[in-house]
Amino acid sequence: MKEGKPVLFDLALDIAIEKTKAVGAVFGHEVVLVRDLLGRIRLLLPGGSKDCTENQELALAGFSEELSESLGAYGYGPNQTVLFLEDFLQDDESSIRADRRLIEQEGDLKIWLLDRQLVGQDWMRSSLPRTTVTRRVTFFGIKGGVGRSTALVIWAWNLAKKRKNVLFFDLDLESPGVSSTLLPPEYLPDYGIVDWFVEDGVGQGGVIEENMVAISPLSAELPGEIRVVPAFGQVAGDYLPKLARCYVDFTTEGAVLWGERVQRLVERLEKKEKPDVVFFDSRAGLHDIAAVLVTRMDADTFLFAADSAQTWAAYSFLFKNWRKHPQIKEFRNRLQIVAGMVPETGREEYLKRFREHSWDMFREYLYDEVQPDDLEAFSFDLTSEEAPHYPLRIFWHRALQEFDPAVSETGLDEKISRDTMDDFMDGAERIVFPDQSGG
């Protein structure tokens, strides 16, 4: 490198885009920047090297040298800087087309990014096709400890009181536990979700599907039922070796993406159990499970948050990436912020700050910029109560922190659940059952 100043990861992509724009459409109107597992970048051109004219070859040689040098540690050698699509088999071509995303367009030059990642690709992929129509809800928190699981349990209980059947999947596989709130150990079915993934891997998921759903005793006296698909079952065996195999992207039948496997599991149990609504408890944070459940499962997603700088910073990482999501318009209206554990004192002030921080983030990354007369735009005022940034509220109460319905004789305390959760549950029901508001 000429200047001797190292190029770091973030800068490398900007450099590659600028250099590619500078040569314009000499190499065709569609170029793909391939960023490899280490972040190194090179160019993938349509056609083959033999198709190049003399001029193009000359331009290519100069370009390769320049890109290679300017990217520093994130460059390949000049001879390795350009790949040709023709050198790839057709199957590869179609997967490249499916996974690349448009990052820059200038005139008739389109620059795409093919981001090769070890994990996390699902955050940027489109919805998975599905064959069922059950309403689905994902409970997600960018950080743990904001009352996500408690809210889920109490809402499920309230829905069961209103004759709704809830099918709940405990997909927090790395810290399984919500299912134990709903299902004391003696109620667990024989098997759980980790068992299904390993058995499905060798083509026998069907063998355990009859024994991986149990009815929560919490709904025993209620007109509706809460059915639980726990992470593990009575026959827990060795949890860790099974967990370690859950995320495999293939089975003995061939390659199948992890998200597609989740969809298969959920659809099979939806068809068998016929619930009114499906709940997913998602792993917190930027985990692959969350990536699938939040953006790919056709679910309404509740984003739990506390008003803290760390929370907004972490959500912003995600939202910033989503701004470039090719299907953002399809799922941004399925997101809803939830203020979990709103403190007892200074509530109004706390919520005001929360709302402003939430609005700032949605405005910056997900809302459309609007002209005054643009009625179609996806954009909301700070105080618009139906806006995704306007929090559904759950109020902190000591009893909620110690809440364990499985050991309580009387089930849930109606009053406490009403005082703390009504705002959340009313809002959530308007979103999830829009045709039955008032429930």
Partner 1 sequence: MPVDYRDAAERHWKDAEYLFSDARLANADHLFGLAAECALKAVMHGLGMKLSGDRPEDPRYQKHINILWSEFVSFAASRSGARYLNPLRKEVNPFKDWNVNGRYGNGAAFPQTTVAGHRIGAKGTMLALQAAILDGVVT
Nearest approach in angstroms of CB 289 to partner 1 is 16
118 forms part of the interface with partner 1 (CB under 8 A): yes
The single residue among 14, 69, 87, 374 that binds partner 1, judged by CB under 8 A, is 87
88 forms part of the interface with partner 1 (CB under 8 A): yes
Q: Which is nearer to partner 1, 35 or 393 (CB)?
A: 35
Question: 3-state DSSP call for residue 342?
Answer: strand
Q: Are 200 and 264 in contact (CB under 8 A)?
A: yes
252 forms part of the interface with partner 1 (CB under 8 A): yes
Beta strand segments in 248-378, E: 250-251, 254-255, 277-281, 300-305, 335-342
The single residue among 114, 215, 351, 382 that binds partner 1, judged by CB under 8 A, is 114
Nearest approach in angstroms of CB 255 to partner 1 is 4
Instruction: Identify the bridge partners of residue 254 per DSSP, sorted by sequence position.
Output: 251
| Interacting positions 37-66 with partner 1 (CB under 8 A) | 37-38, 40
Nearest approach in angstroms of CB 241 to partner 1 is 13
Concatenated DSSP letters of 303-314: EEE-S-HHHHHH
Q: Which is nearer to partner 1, 17 or 114 (CB)?
A: 114
Nearest approach in angstroms of CB 398 to partner 1 is 43
Q: Which is nearer to partner 1, 32 or 166 (CB)?
A: 32
Nearest approach in angstroms of CB 79 to partner 1 is 10
Nearest approach in angstroms of CB 252 to partner 1 is 6
The single residue among 86, 92, 210, 368 that binds partner 1, judged by CB under 8 A, is 92
Nearest approach in angstroms of CB 38 to partner 1 is 6
Contacts for 131 with CB less than 8 Å, ≥ 6 apart: 267
> For residues 244 and 266, what is the distance between their CA atoms, to the nearest angstrom?
20
Instruction: Identify the bridge partners of residue 139 per DSSP, sorted by sequence position.
Output: 281, 302
Q: Which is nearer to partner 1, 77 or 177 (CB)?
A: 77
**The residue type at 128:** L
| Window contacting partner 1 (CB under 8 A); options: 110-118, 294-302, 316-324, 431-439 | 110-118
Q: Which is nearer to partner 1, 91 or 385 (CB)?
A: 91
Quote the tokens at residue 160.
């069961």
Nearest approach in angstroms of CB 123 to partner 1 is 17
Nearest approach in angstroms of CB 91 to partner 1 is 6
Draw the binding track, 16-35, toward partner 1 (x: CB under 8 A; -: no contact). ------------------x-
Nearest approach in angstroms of CB 365 to partner 1 is 29
> For residues 147 and 399, what is the distance between their CA atoms, to the nearest angstrom?
12
Q: Are 81 and 75 in contact (CB under 8 A)?
A: yes
| Interacting positions 304-363 with partner 1 (CB under 8 A) | none
Q: Which is nearer to partner 1, 59 or 248 (CB)?
A: 248
| Window contacting partner 1 (CB under 8 A); options: 7-15, 91-99, 157-165, 184-192 | 91-99
Residue 410 DSSP label: S
Q: Which is nearer to partner 1, 112 or 155 (CB)?
A: 112
> For residues 217 and 405, what is the distance between their CA atoms, to the nearest angstrom?
9
Q: Which is nearer to partner 1, 136 or 261 (CB)?
A: 261
Q: Is the dihedral of CA 114, 326, 328, 363 positive or negative?
A: positive
| Dihedral of the alpha carbons of 89, 92, 98, 103, in degrees to the nearest 10 | -90
Beta strand segments in 148-206, E: 166-170
The upper half-sphere exposure of residue 100, i.e. CA atoms within 13 Å in the direction of its Cβ, equals: 22
| Window contacting partner 1 (CB under 8 A); options: 114-122, 285-293, 324-332, 423-431 | 114-122
Contacts for 245 with CB less than 8 Å, ≥ 6 apart: 197, 198, 201
> For residues 180 and 182, what is the distance between their CA atoms, to the nearest angstrom?
5
111 forms part of the interface with partner 1 (CB under 8 A): no
Taking the mean position of all CA atoms in its chain, how far away is CA 377? 24
Question: 3-state DSSP call for residue 335?
Answer: strand
Residue 295 sits at the vertex; the CA angle it makes with 293 and 300, to the nearest 5 degrees, is 75
- Which residues form the interface with partner 1 (CB under 8 A)? 34, 36-38, 40, 76, 80, 83, 87-89, 91-92, 96, 114, 116, 118, 248-250, 252-255
